[in-house]
């Protein structure tokens, strides 16, 4: 199974991962043979990348949480945010459902032995905010678990991460969903979502003050160039520093109206390069060890220009997998299995999507 931009998908490929419509109903099930009608329908939903199985890649990759829990979480957030948009008032029933979701995600992740992130979540444009919020919560918890946070801290972290973008409810929808580059004054409006979200929940005693601080500070940067208050280093709440990393990684690996998604390896390189300037460097190191930049099934171009498929990943050495060559100018090399842990003269140059 590999992630491919929709324009690179050919008829006859098998859908590798079930996709859902904007109401959480199954649109196309895993295993469906894709044709141009299906591909066009998916594109109309604002989905621009898909997991496929084809002659090059058919390995199954398990999501880090169950699909049912992911869809339930997205639907819960969507209902909560919609309630705020429509009624502009708090509802204890919705708060309770958010807390239930937080506990369910924590329990599921805490029960796993392997917390490596192999999949990028496929998002539609209309549901982006809710899907993104769930992903940020999952990624934040993975960092938190690796940092050995206690259950109470994980709960506050997850709640704050799920609600980190709640302030966007109070920003005009046409700005949130604008396809063109934002004007400076529009970007200034977007930046208000941190304080608007914090102020909305400020007087709610059911939500921990720490979770509210996450909402306020998740765009602060350790060098003081973030917003809303330009805080630096340890003046930024520890849990907010975690969410800042998860937020940017998930945003970079998501298709947006104004740009296409980065691959996981490109996004993690950006995060690593921004350690000690934008992000807490120790947290970045922990996070980078949990991301698989080239999951099993990915097609990669090697530094000798051969194309290979990733067959096995080594924990903590994800840039040095075992690969199998499927295309080469040297015909005798095709089919060769290479352990990049021992073949140190070879490196992965880039992800390959279309095979000619």
The enclosing domain of 159 has a CATH number of 1.10.3210.10
Closest CA to 64 of 115, 100, 12, 25: 115
Q: Are residues 37 and 81 in the same domain?
A: no
Those residues whose C-beta lies under 8 Å from the C-beta of residue 69, and which sit 6 or more positions away, are 104, 105, 108
Domain count across the chain: 3
Domain enclosing residue 13, as ranges: 2-53
Q: Are residues 14 and 99 in the same domain?
A: no
DSSP labels for 37-88?
HHHHHHHHTT--EEEEE-SS-------SS-HHHHHHHHHHHHHHHHHHHHH-
With beta carbons less than 8 A apart as the criterion, state whether 58 and 1 touch: yes
End residue of a domain, out of 241, 268, 288: 288
* 36 and 106 belong to one structural domain: no
Whether 192 is covered by a domain: the verdict is yes
Question: How far is C-alpha 341 from the chain's CA centre?
Answer: 27
Whether 148 is in a domain gets the answer yes
151 and 33 share a domain?
no
Largest CA distance in the chain: 69
163 and 246 belong to one structural domain: yes
Same domain, 212 and 252: yes
Residues 93 and 125 in one domain: yes
Q: Are 47 and 19 in contact (CB under 8 A)?
A: yes
Is the dihedral angle over the CA atoms 102, 108, 109, 111 positive or is it negative? positive
Domain's final residue, options 288, 321, 340: 288
Q: List the chain pLDDT tens, one digit each, 356 residues.
A: 899 999 999 999 999 999 988 888 898 999 999 999 999 989 888 888 999 998 888 878 888 999 999 999 999 999 988 888 776 555 667 788 999 999 999 999 988 878 888 888 777 777 889 999 999 999 999 999 999 999 999 999 999 999 999 999 999 988 988 888 889 999 999 999 999 999 999 877 678 999 999 999 999 999 999 999 999 999 999 999 999 999 999 999 998 877 888 989 999 999 999 998 999 999 999 999 999 999 999 999 999 999 999 999 998 888 899 999 999 999 999 999 999 999 999 999 999 987 76
Residue 171 DSSP label = S
Residues 226 and 323 in one domain: no
Classify residue 241: in a domain, yes or no.
yes
Residues 6+ apart with CB under 8 A from 64: 109, 112, 115, 117, 118, 119, 138, 142
Same domain, 191 and 269: yes
Question: Do 190 and 127 belong to one domain?
Answer: yes
């Amino acid at each position: 199974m590999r992630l491919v931009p929709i324009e690179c998908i050919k008829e006859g490929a098998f859908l590798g991962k079930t996709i859902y419509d904007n109401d959480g109903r199954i649109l196309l099930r895993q295993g469906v043979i894709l044709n141009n009608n299906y591909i066009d329908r998916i594109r109309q939903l604002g989905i621009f990348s898909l997991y496929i199985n084809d002659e090059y890649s058919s390995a199954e990759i398990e999501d880090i949480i169950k699909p049912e829990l992911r869809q339930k979480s997205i639907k819960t957030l969507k209902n909560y945010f919609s309630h705020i948009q429509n009624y502009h008032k708090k509802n204890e029933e919705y708060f309770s459902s958010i807390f239930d979701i937080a506990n369910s995600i924590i329990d599921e992740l805490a029960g796993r032995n392997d917390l490596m992130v192999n999949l990028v979540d496929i998002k539609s444009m209309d549901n982006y905010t809710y899907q993104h919020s769930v992903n940020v919560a999952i990624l934040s918890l993975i960092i938190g678990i690796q940092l050995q946070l206690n259950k109470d801290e994980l709960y506050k972290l997850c709640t704050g991460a799920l609600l980190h973008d709640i302030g966007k409810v109070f920003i005009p929808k046409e700005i949130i969903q604008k396809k063109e580059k934002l004007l400076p004054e529009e970007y200034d409006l977007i930046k208000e979502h941190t304080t608007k979200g914090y102020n909305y929940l400020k007087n709610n005693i059911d939500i921990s003050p720490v979770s509210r601080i996450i909402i306020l500070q998740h765009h602060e940067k350790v060098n003081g160039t973030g917003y809303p208050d330009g805080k630096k280093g340890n003046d930024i709440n520890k849990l907010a520093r975690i969410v800042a990393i998860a937020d940017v990684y998930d945003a970079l690996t998501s298709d947006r109206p104004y740009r296409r998604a980065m691959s996981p390896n490109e996004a993690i390189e950006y995060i690593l390069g921004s350690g000690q300037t934008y992000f807490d460097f120790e947290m970045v190191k922990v996070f980078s060890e949990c991301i698989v930049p080239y999951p099993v099934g990915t097609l990669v171009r090697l530094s000798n220009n051969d194309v290979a498929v990733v067959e096995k990943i080594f924990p903590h050495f994800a840039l040095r997998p075992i690969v199998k060559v499927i295309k080469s100018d040297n015909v005798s090399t095709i089919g060769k299995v290479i352990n990049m842990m021992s073949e140190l003269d070879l490196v992965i140059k880039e992800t390959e999507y279309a095979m000619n």
